[in-house]
């Protein structure tokens, strides 16, 4: 059965879009940065994931590069193959590149898939597959459609903003909530940062692929060739400027594999992913093993526990950060290591409709479960972001209160965590942390033990 995405691309003319003037800006910019990471001797092997009709694949193949393309939509794949280029083209999914071995390609392009993946988990899967098939010293270029572009154009310019708000298509801070039937997913820079952290990738640079071009379509079309050339020159000179990145239509994130080891984070994610899936059945780490009793024993009152919806309490805390937090109506609360959302949901009741709670957790399964609980209970003032507490996906001076419960002990870079807390707190902001302390120095063997960092 044909999916909505396939129906869409059976009608959508990607070739025409990239040949339009605003599309040319995006294409020329992307090609410029692709070439920055390609050797002049044409020896590089390139994988184009989500290749569409082959606009990039064929152009690079015609330059003499060894190009392999993967495309999900059969219609697009058919157009690509009819071009009779040297591109090796296959039907496939960005989240499962199993036909390709590890460390195979010098450059991996992921220019379409992120537009149509609607969960963090799926985006991270796609990034991890790109990471797997790229060489150790290779480069990955990933394209995204940006949130503010959607809000400004579809929301305000085309006058759908009130309708979108009424239908719950936007959060209170105007982040688009996309579903598969919407066809496109829109992101902010902090979302992209979180995906990279979860996938173990580090940024080389982030660029604005088309800058203001998409907002200026009629103006670009009216330009004479010389003026348009000047616009291209201007754009290429400014596309790395931070002030343009958030509002551009498309960004391209240029990445490489993280050089530092992320073994501890991987261990914690693995174990807490099992907890979220309740695979530690019968142990203290099981959410079904007396979680209310455990939480009561470390300081939560029955009234506080009653504020959290069913499923939010996994019994994983070692104290009650609310005892000293003194959370008030209208405040912004940040929870480090939010898990399935117990402390966030309690805080959500305390801050009320005028307040906001942000939970950050680096385990995708925990984030998924917390979001599901929030959605099922129609809780709109609490949101959950995938990210690491050493690199919080939160803007400077955001929070009135920062809370955390038995999480900072699992970080191998605690000074960095506290610097991040300081960064995101408003002037005069406060913290309330519950955690494990040691009474004597740990042995080196214990410090190196991954299990010590994940309960």
pLDDT in tens, 387-398: 999 889 999 999
Indicate if the pLDDT at residue 107 is higher than 70: yes
Which tokens is 382 given?
A: 């609490």
Work out the pLDDT band at 288, boundaries 50, 70, 90.
very low
- The pTM of the whole model exceeds 0.75: no
Among the ranges given (30-39, 238-247, 365-374, 432-441), the one the predictor scored with the smallest mean pLDDT = 432-441
Work out the pLDDT band at 449, boundaries 50, 70, 90.
low
pLDDT tens profile 135-192: 988 999 999 999 999 999 999 999 999 999 999 999 999 999 998 888 899 999 999 9
pLDDT recorded at residue 392: 93
Which parts of 111-156 are beta strand (E)? 134-145
Cβ(349)–Cβ(371) below 8 Å = no
Find tokens 């184009």 and name the residue.
Answer: 48
pLDDT tens profile 237-255: 999 998 888 889 999 999 9
Work out the pLDDT band at 5, boundaries 50, 70, 90.
low
- d(CA 378, CA 284) in angstroms, rounded, equals 30
Indicate if the pLDDT at residue 423 is higher than 50: yes
Indicate if the pLDDT at residue 28 is higher than 70: yes
Q: Enumerate residues 6+ apart whose C-beta is below 8 A from 303.
A: none
Share above pLDDT 90 across residues of the chain, in percent, rounded to a whole number: 65
Averaged pLDDT score across all residues of the chain:
88
pLDDT recorded at residue 49: 98
pLDDT recorded at residue 278: 66
Which tokens is 374 given?
A: 């929030």
Find tokens 């009741």 and name the residue.
Answer: 349
Cβ(145)–Cβ(250) below 8 Å = yes
Indicate if the pLDDT at residue 287 is higher than 50: no
Residue-wise burial string across 410-429, b where 16 or more C-beta atoms lie within 10 A, e elsewhere: bbeeeeebeebbeebbeeeb
* Burial class, 140, CB count within 10 angstroms (exposed 0-12 / middle 13-18 / buried 19+): buried
Instruction: List beta partners, residue 105.
Output: 134
Work out the pLDDT band at 11, boundaries 50, 70, 90.
low
Work out the pLDDT band at 280, boundaries 50, 70, 90.
very low
Instruction: List beta partners, residue 385.
Output: 360
pLDDT recorded at residue 228: 96
- d(CA 18, CA 46) in angstroms, rounded, equals 20
Indicate if the pLDDT at residue 1 is higher than 60: no
pLDDT recorded at residue 352: 95
């Amino acid at each position: 059965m044909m999916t909505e995405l396939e129906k869409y691309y059976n009608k959508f003319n990607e070739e025409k879009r990239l040949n339009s003037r605003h599309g040319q800006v995006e294409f020329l910019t992307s090609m410029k940065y692709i070439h920055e990471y390609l050797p002049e001797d044409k020896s590089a092997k390139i994988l184009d994931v989500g290749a569409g009709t082959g606009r990039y694949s064929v152009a690079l193949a015609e330059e003499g590069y060894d190009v392999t393309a993967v495309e999900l939509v059969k219609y697009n794949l058919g157009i690509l193959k009819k071009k009779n280029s040297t591109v090796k083209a296959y039907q496939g999914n960005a989240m499962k590149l199993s036909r390709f071995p590890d460390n195979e390609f010098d450059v991996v392009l992921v220019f379409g898939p992120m537009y149509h993946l609607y969960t963090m988990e799926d985006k991270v899967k796609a990034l991890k597959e790109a990471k797997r098939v790229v060489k150790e010293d290779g480069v990955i270029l990933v394209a995204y459609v940006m949130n503010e572009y959607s809000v400004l154009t579809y929301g305000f310019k085309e006058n759908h903003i009130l309708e979108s708000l009424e239908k719950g298509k936007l959060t209170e801070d105007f982040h688009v909530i996309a579903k598969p039937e919407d066809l496109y997913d829109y992101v902010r820079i902090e979302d992209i940062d979180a995906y990279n952290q979860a996938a173990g990738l580090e940024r080389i640079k982030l660029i604005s692929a088309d800058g203001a071009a998409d907002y200026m379509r009629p103006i670009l079309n009216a330009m004479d060739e010389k003026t348009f050339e000047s616009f291209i020159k201007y754009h290429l000179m400014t596309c790395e400027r931070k002030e343009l990145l958030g509002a551009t239509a498309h960004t391209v994130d240029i990445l490489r594999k993280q050089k530092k080891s992320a073994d501890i984070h991987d261990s914690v994610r693995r174990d807490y992913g099992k907890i979220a899936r309740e695979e530690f059945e019968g142990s203290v780490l099981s959410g079904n093993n007396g979680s209310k009793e455990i939480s009561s024993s470390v300081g939560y009152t029955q009234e506080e526990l009653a504020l959290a919806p069913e499923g939010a309490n996994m019994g994983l805390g070692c104290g009650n950060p609310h005892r000293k937090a003194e959370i008030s109506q209208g405040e912004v609360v940040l929870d480090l290591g939010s898990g399935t959302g117990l402390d966030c949901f309690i805080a959500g009741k305390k801050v009320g409709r005028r307040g906001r709670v942000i939970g950050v957790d680096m385990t995708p399964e925990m984030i998924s479960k917390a979001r599901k609980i929030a959605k099922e209970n129609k809780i709109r003032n609490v949101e959950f972001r995938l990210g690491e507490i050493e690199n919080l996906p939160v803007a400077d001076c955001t929070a009135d209160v920062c809370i955390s419960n038995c999480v900072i002990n699992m970080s191998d870079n605690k000074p960095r965590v506290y610097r991040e807390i300081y960064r995101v707190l408003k002037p005069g902001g406060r913290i309330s942390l519950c955690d494990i302390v040691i009474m004597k120095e740990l042995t080196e063997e214990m410090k190196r033990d991954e299990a010590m960092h994940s309960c």
